[in-house]
Amino acid sequence: MTEYRPPLGSRDLLRLDFNENTVACSPKVREALAAISTGALTLYPTREPVEALVAESLGLRGEQVALTNGVDEAIHVLFESFLDAGDELLLPVPTYTMYGVYASATDARIVTVQAAEDMRFPYERLLAAITPRTKIIAVANHNSPSGSVATREQLLELARRAPHAVLLVDEAYFHFYGETMIDLVGKVPNLIVARTFSKAYGLAGLRLGLLAAPLELMRWMRRVLSPYSVNSVALACLPAALKDETYLDWYVGEVKAARGEFESALDAAEVRRWPSRANFILVEIGARHAEFAERMRALGVLVRDRSADPGCDGCVRITIGTREQMRQAATALNETLSALRKENQTR
Ligand SMILES: Cc1ncc(COP(=O)(O)O)c(C=O)c1O
């Protein structure tokens, strides 16, 4: 395994690099935080009551939902629970980095299925790659960094064609994307859905995610999951975050409006982009992608160089924040691109 270190560093700028909420969490969460008792800090955390609350909000039974320390822990637990030597993880790429990281900590083989140049979900090739050894198929839907999406029918067919495997549908961007499989949890025997509170809810620092799974599969995963990995502070804040739908709706609406404006700015600047229905856009900058990211940083805007991702040569991912923030980003982008283009002409 190679160590994975996210490029965090000093981030006291406009943070369009990690697909976080670029404003803040709900003010109701701050109130819940201020009201935490000493007792809550002293005792080991009890997650079941909050799991029941979350399950209810999703239309599921408490036992079908496990809270996790971010989706990252959910992926780790899932892979540890089901992947053994000789098994295969089927992974459409490019996709979220941590699938590869946690899979490489098991003895299973990672079978990647590359998306074509248009970045569309490689559905036919995924179906063709299913073997009797396929144990998990991991699909981020909506995907990052590519922005690809799989339809409900495609996901159902994948689950049907691999009854001996688990289909993970990672819905980290659900609140922006709006499509879900969560209503099928418990109805499709091999379907597991993951969600996060790191994106639209603005709680990436609290580390809160969840797994929703049929009881049969959940029982295996609970054997691997630490009973205390979601801490008392996170558990105390989660109900307040869940309840404040007004805040969530405002933020999601703001991002969607900003995305439309920013797409127009990209088109006007003749920057190639891939479709997105989430809070980020993948764009093609070309050979000088690293310099582009550096110069954007110098102008106060952090973006994420994704050029090393499979099939993403020359690409950068830009998180979408508010309209005001994205106008600042568009100004920086235009300035950076015109400087780079001018230099290219005189080289
Ligand atoms: C597809 C996908 N899943 C999961 C995560 C991470 O979620 P969490 O912060 O809950 O670990 C990300 C973060 O970028 C993501 O893009």
Cα 172 to averaged position of ligand 1 atoms, centre (Å):
6
**pLDDT for 36:** 96
Is pLDDT above 80 for 347? no
Residue 95 gets which letter from DSSP?
-
> Which residue type, as a one-letter code, is found at position 87?
D
Residue 45 gets which letter from DSSP?
P
Terminal Cα-to-Cα distance of the chain (whole angstroms):
41
- Residue pair 212/193 in contact (Cβ under 8 Å)? The answer is yes
Element (H, E) at 212: strand 209-212
**pLDDT for 1:** 82
Average pLDDT on 314-328 reads 98
The verdict on pTM exceeding 0.85 is: yes
| Euclidean distance between CA atoms 126 and 9, whole angstroms | 36
Q: Which atom of ligand 1 is nearest to the CA of 73?
A: 11
Is pLDDT above 80 for 44? yes
- Sheet (strand 88-93) strand order: 65-68, 209-212, 191-196, 166-170, 134-140, 88-93, 109-114
pLDDT tens-place string over residues 165-191: 999 999 999 999 999 999 999 999 999
Average pLDDT on 9-33 reads 95
pLDDT tens-place string over residues 111-145: 999 999 999 999 999 999 999 999 999 999 999 99
State if residue 204 touches ligand 1 by the CB under 6 angstroms criterion: yes
- Residue pair 319/18 in contact (Cβ under 8 Å)? The answer is yes
State if residue 319 touches ligand 1 by the CB under 6 angstroms criterion: no
pLDDT tens-place string over residues 66-102: 999 999 999 999 999 999 999 999 999 999 999 999 9
State if residue 72 touches ligand 1 by the CB under 6 angstroms criterion: yes
